Chains A and B, each alone.
Chain A
Amino acid sequence: MLKVDQIDVYYGNIHALKGVSLDVAEGEIVTLIGSNGAGKSTLLKTLSGLLKPKKGDIQYLGASVAGKPVQDIVKAGISHVPEGRRVFANMSVEENLELGAYLRKDKQGIREDIEKVYELFPRLLERRKQLSGTLSGGEQQMLAMGRAMMARPKLLLLDEPSMGLAPLLVKAIFNIIEEINRSGTTVLLVEQNANMALSIANRAYVIETGKVVLSGTAAELQASDKIKSAYLGGH
């Protein structure tokens, strides 16, 4: 479904991604783990079109999307839930969801999908008229995910959904990621919480200072000594 081929991405002179390749097949949950500053967010931003690769190519559903405008990529079915949620704090929960469907014209379908998001996240339903800036971190994460789902993505990019959340909430969020995946959305999940990420993923890539250093099935990586010591807290 998605094939990233040897991409190089820069911020000015900073070489943030160095020949990164990875692929995601339809229906999978693939996770990308790595420590701070490894380049995980940079990769997601490049996939969603916020950044342009200097070299290399990104094939999605058989066509190149490298360097395409974000709105074209969203239209093609890639939604990106950014790091730190980035909900529109000055707008209500429901307005945020409506913005998620910005490129859609089917009013009826949008209404139905808003209801579906409320089914997935009942807490958002109770707060639909509330300004999203007043939501808790977990609720904002739910809103950011719901907002991304409103574009009816085929591929969902999630950037550290567990960041700053209590363990119980992390578990709930990960359950929902699995549910979203079961209902037909492919997921590329960036995480520092490697334990949790590997527990729901099919496959994983490990990225360090802009390079993919390891990849394999989730089970292989869970068993790898290197991963255990570096990312799974050494046990």
Chain B
Amino acid sequence: MDWLQQLINGISLGSIYALIALGYTMVYGIIRLINFAHGDVFMIGSFVGFYAITGLGLSIIPALILAMAVCALLGVVIERIAYKRLRNASRIAALITAIGVSLLIEYGTIYFRGAQLEVFPSALPTKSFNLWGATISVQSILILSISVVLMIILQIVVRRTKVGKAMRAVSHDVEAARLMGINVDRTISATFAIGSALAGAAGVIFGIYYTKIEPLMGVIPGLKAFVAAVLGGIGIIPGAAIGGLVLGLVETLVSALGYSNWRDAAAFIILILILIFKPSGILGKNSREKV
């Protein structure tokens, strides 16, 4: 068994989950909504990347940026049209709406282009090299670097920029944030834009890594990224990254041990275990904040 290689596979898979989970957790953090359409934004990102490379002939980085931009816009539009008016509605109403948006994107995509699979072009070098006896593909290293760079940029945006500070303020206390003069609507739009752009990037990376894409591809990674977000502590940004990595590693480990049929189940077993033993997640505090 090639442990180092499995480790890298696990981290690569985990970084895809992490990128999607970040959007879940940011949106949840700011409007307490589980955006079930998020996995479908990821799918759209994958298709935009695909058409950008095959149709427009773009190379990987421009395709990635285009996919991120389209998804950012899509996220903002979804929020403005579907979720904004539900801010003071019951959670269940918002949740049902999110599922509706998800179905709309999935079947809208099928309506416009059909349900058939597409094979993602290999946009990155397919070479591999040896490291301590393990074969490591250049591709997985590049994928990993893209994810890491995006997460670092996100961290800088959230920690250092004005919009990032506004996002943290709104997610902590909307009314107090308004008293600072923060435009809450615009801050929520920015959150959707950033979260959706990361999902779009994850879609492109997923396409490169797993090569097959189709309109319902967002469902399972979306659910797993949700598990990753809960695992890390929903609403906590570093938690989503950690949750994604842990989930990717666990899944890879389960497959590597020869239980690949159990791979998908592993995520949901983890979800059940967290909900029983530590519902607030790895980085979450067990007690609610004092009000």
14 A-B pairs within 8 Å (CB atoms) are namely A70-B181, A71-B178, A71-B182, A86-B173, A86-B179, A87-B176, A89-B289, A91-B165, A91-B168, A99-B169, A102-B166, A103-B181, A147-B180, A148-B179
Which residue on B lies nearest to A98, using beta carbons? B165
Scan residues 268-291 of chain B and give those whose CB is less than 8 A from a CB of chain A: 289, 291
The answer to the question of B91 belonging to the interface, with a C-beta cut-off of 8 Å to chain A, is no
The answer to the question of A218 belonging to the interface, with a C-beta cut-off of 8 Å to chain B, is no
The answer to the question of B175 belonging to the interface, with a C-beta cut-off of 8 Å to chain A, is yes
A18-26, A32-40, A74-82 - the one binding chain B: A74-82
Task: Tell me the interface secondary structure of chain B in the complex.
Answer: helix
Let me know if A88 and B179 touch, CB within 8 A.
no
Let me know if B168 and A151 touch, CB within 8 A.
no
B181 to chain A, nearest CB (A): 4
Given A82-B175, A86-B175, A88-B168, decide whether A100 and B289 contact each other with a Cβ distance below 8 A.
Answer: no
Contacts of A147 in B (CB 8 A): 180
Contacts of A74 in B (CB 8 A): 179-181
Let me know if A90 and B162 touch, CB within 8 A.
no
Given A90-B168, A98-B165, A99-B169, decide whether A82 and B182 contact each other with a Cβ distance below 8 A.
Answer: no
The answer to the question of A176 belonging to the interface, with a C-beta cut-off of 8 Å to chain B, is no
Interface bits A87-107 vs B (CB < 8 Å: 1, else 0): 111110001001110110000
Given A86-B175, A91-B168, decide whether A102 and B182 contact each other with a Cβ distance below 8 A.
Answer: yes
The answer to the question of B128 belonging to the interface, with a C-beta cut-off of 8 Å to chain A, is no
Scan residues 169-208 of chain B and give those whose CB is less than 8 A from a CB of chain A: 169, 172-173, 175-183
B162 to chain A, nearest CB (A): 7
The answer to the question of A125 belonging to the interface, with a C-beta cut-off of 8 Å to chain B, is no
Q: How far is the CA of A174 from the CA of B72 in the complex (A)?
A: 48
Q: How far is the CA of A226 from the CA of B103 in the complex (A)?
A: 65
Choice from B178, B182, B289 contacting A50 with Cβ under 8 Å: B178
Contacts of A90 in B (CB 8 A): 168, 172
Contacts of B168 in A (CB 8 A): 88, 90-91
Let me know if B181 and A151 touch, CB within 8 A.
yes
Scan residues 51-96 of chain A and give those whose CB is less than 8 A from a CB of chain B: 70-71, 74-75, 79-80, 82, 84, 86-91, 95
Additional A-B contact list (20), CB under 8 Å, known A82-B175, A86-B175, A88-B172: A49-B178, A50-B179, A70-B178, A70-B179, A70-B181, A75-B181, A79-B179, A84-B291, A86-B173, A87-B176, A88-B176, A90-B172, A91-B168, A91-B169, A99-B169, A99-B182, A102-B165, A102-B166, A102-B180, A151-B180
